[in-house]
Structure 1
Amino acid sequence: MNRKWSSLLLLLVLSVTDAYLLAHPNLIGKIGVLVYKHHYIRNFPRALLTVMIVVGLSLAICELVYRFTQKKTAIFSYLALTGIALFWFMYVFVTFSSFSYRITGKSFIYGAHLLPVILAGLNLRYLVKRILAREPLNDALTEGKSGSGAV
């Protein structure tokens, strides 16, 4: 199977799993979702749409940065995006360690932690891919260095 298709399949499976986990809190978690008006994760189709939009936007940003920026800019961008995802993970970790969120159910907690992990993994994959990619050589620079194109 092609690497790109297998990566997209893995991303799809992780996204569906995350949406399922987010859409299935326990009774206290369901009450919390209603009280705090988290309508975007009220049921599985809405949670799936929310997760797919977030992952899709992140994938689109990573792909655009990979195709249209220089290597140093792309590496900095991926490091910044990975930093944001790790910060988000730490925020979720601290938030869900409090008593009010700890009683919402393990599946809901795992689902909340999984989304930033998916995004960090996606950004790190593109970071490694960009570091290992070779830059095309500029013909004008190579001619000037070899001395054959002296003016």
Structure 2
Amino acid sequence: MRKLSFYFFLIALVIVDSFLLSKPNLLGKIGLIIYKYHYLRTFPRTLLTVSIVVVVAFVLAELISFLVKRRTLKRALGTIVLALLIAVSFAALVKTGMDFSTWTYSHTGLRFRFGAYLLPTLLIVLFTYALVKLPKPDEVFPESPLNPGVPANKDITPMP
């Protein structure tokens, strides 16, 4: 149930982020035209763009979790991959901060800037959640000294 509520919260943040990114001020709208950011001009296009980015991140996180659960990937490697994805998302957040401190992007409007900061933050939250919820390996029970080849947790009575 917690996982489901987390994803509903994530969907709500995707909608809020799309709304914020689709509402720049006049200078921001001119910048979208000049820099040919046609995928951010309207709310449906922005919603599609943000949704695609978040869905790709979600699929990556779930794929890593699935591979760790099926023991195709070791948990340590899954942890490293998710930590790298968090680091890349954090680098995107820092890059966004540096871009929006320059003159061109700093005049796009407060809503647009908040939307630009929210997208990498969403990715950081998504990958961190996947890292926290990464499946733990099952405990391996030692072999029984009485019955070699049988795990100690099995209650097997020997044949008379």
Q: Secondary structure at the match of 1:97?
A: coil
Matched with 1:44 is 43
What root-mean-square deviation, in Å, do the aligned CA atoms of Structure 1 and Structure 2 show? 1.4
> Any residues of structure 2 matched to 1:40-119 within 5 Å, and which?
40-68=39-67, 69-119=73-123
Shift in Å, 1:36:
0.5
- Quote the residue 1:7 is aligned against: 6
1:134 to 136, 152, 157: 136
Name 1:17's counterpart in structure 2.
Answer: 16
| Structure 1: 5+ residue stretches without partners | none
Please name the residue that 2:124 is paired with: 120
Larger radius of gyration: 2
Note the residue ranges of structure 2 that are not aligned, 5 or more in a row.
68-72, 150-160
Between Structure 1 and Structure 2, the one with more helix by share is: 1
1:29 aligns with 2:28: yes
Give the distance between the partners of 2:84 and 2:62, measured in 1 at CA. Answer: 15
Is the Cα contact below 8 Å between 2:39 and 2:49 reproduced in 1? Answer: yes
Deviation of 1:138 after TM superposition, in Å, equals 4.7
Q: CA deviation at 1:127?
A: 1.1
Separation of aligned partners in 2, 1:61 and 1:85: 13
How far 1:128 sits from its partner (Å)? 1.4
Amino acid at match of 2:92: W
Runs of 4 or more, structure 1, over 3 Å off, are: none
Q: TM-score, normalised by structure 1?
A: 0.89
Identity %: 36
Secondary structure of the residue aligned to 1:49 is helix
Secondary structure, counterpart of 1:14 in structure 2: helix
